[in-house]
Amino acid sequence: MKNYKHIKVTPISTAIGAEISKIDISMDLPEPVISEIRHALLEHLVIFFRDQDLSDPERHRIFTRYFGQLFIHPNFNMGQKDPEMVYLTRKPGDKAVVGETWHADTTMMKAPPMAAILYALEAPKYGGDTLFSNQYLAFESLSVGMKQMLNGLKAIHNDARVAGPKAGFNSKRTTQVREDDGWTLTENAHPVVRIHPETKRKSLFINSTYVQNIKGMTVEESAAILNYLYEHATKPEFSCRFRWRTGSVAFWDNRCVQHLAINDSNNATRRMQRTQLLGNDVL
């Protein structure tokens, strides 16, 4: 573990996740602090901040830009003034929430986003937690034979399940996505085993939200392999659970993490504000 001089880093599980304290990320940050935050992200895969104020979207954007360029999500771009900011809201009566199946974000893109920064504008007293899973450990714990089989394979990722006229989410939840007839499918093939561009570690890079099949195999042929990997990749021993409070921030490395939003806040309101960082490596 790195000896941090400017921030305090407290792991929250053995597998993944750390809370960062002794810092106000709504303020202008000097390079040594930014460097330590980046290092903590690479070391712990997802990092959390408490009692922050990013309610001004520009402060949220400024913090995000310390780590790269902002990404505009094609399915949440509904013609709003600020397409770089996505608002994820759950209100009483909603039957669904964004992200309630295990996934990495927006992996159908040719260069998937490298990270996301999610801020709680309003969190319920309990419920609405988020789970995160370490995909390095998911790969490293596989058998030698399985690793050898997966190396070199690619999976087809697209957004057919999460957007477009057949998705059917807008009738179930407050947060809206493009379901208009002008929507077009985005699809790309990515390695099943991904090499992280900074750490050089191998991780699983598949998820049940976006992956359709293994390239060169039918959906039926792929299912046995993929279903095993989906279950394996999200084992409790690879994961952590984060309980939100208003003013909390989660910053995760989308290249080696899956996450899931738990839809259990029932009659409470949950309002979140999210940016994503542009991916800079085409897989």
Given the residues 44, 90, 255, 259, the one annotated as active site? 259
28 found inside a domain: yes
42, burial (CB in 10 Å: exposed 0-12, middle 13-18, buried 19+): middle
In the residue annotation, 274 being an active-site residue is answered as yes
Return the minimum-mean-pLDDT range out of 38-52, 65-79, 101-115, 221-235. 65-79
In the residue annotation, 60 being an active-site residue is answered as no
Q: Read off the pLDDT of each residue in 177-198 and give the average, rounded to a whole number.
A: 96
Given the residues 44, 60, 90, 103, the one annotated as active site? 103
3 found inside a domain: no
2 found inside a domain: no
pLDDT at position 282 is 73
pLDDT at position 265 is 82
Cα-based distances in Å from 250 to 180, 187, 189: 31, 28, 28
1 found inside a domain: no
258 found inside a domain: yes
Side chain identity at residue 220, one-letter code: E
Dihedral sign (CA 44, 49, 70, 164): positive
Q: What is the pLDDT of residues 153-163, one digit of tens each?
A: 999 999 999 99
pLDDT at position 211 is 98
pLDDT at position 244 is 98
Pairwise CA distance, residues 251 & 89, whole Å: 18
- DSSP-assigned letter for residue 264: -
49 found inside a domain: yes
Q: Read off the pLDDT of each residue in 111-118 and give the average, rounded to a whole number.
A: 98
State which residues form the domain around 28. 8-277
- Count Cα neighbours of 241 within 13 Å in the Cβ-side half-sphere: 9
Percent of the chain topping pLDDT 70: 99
- Burial readout 180-211 (b: 16 or more C-beta within 10 A, e: otherwise): eeebeebebbbbbbbebeeeeebbbbbbbbbb
Q: φ, ψ for residue 97 (rounded to 5)?
A: -135, 160
283 found inside a domain: no
CB 112 within 8 A of CB 190: yes
Q: Read off the pLDDT of each residue in 165-183 and give the average, rounded to a whole number.
A: 92
pLDDT at position 127 is 94
Given the residues 105, 196, 270, 271, the one annotated as active site? 105
Given the residues 60, 73, 271, 274, the one annotated as active site? 274
Q: 97: which 2 tokens?
A: 């929430």
Beta strands in 123-269 (DSSP E): 130-134, 154-158, 187-191, 193-195, 202-204, 211-214, 239-242, 249-253, 257-261
CATH value at residue 197: 3.60.130.10
Q: What is the pLDDT of residues 44-85, one digit of tens each?
A: 999 999 999 999 999 999 999 999 999 999 999 877 888 999
Pairwise CA distance, residues 210 & 159, whole Å: 6
In the residue annotation, 103 being an active-site residue is answered as yes
Number of domains in the chain: 1
Q: What is the pLDDT of residues 258-283, one digit of tens each?
A: 999 999 988 899 999 999 999 987 76
66 found inside a domain: yes
H-assigned helices in 105-213: 135-140, 144-150
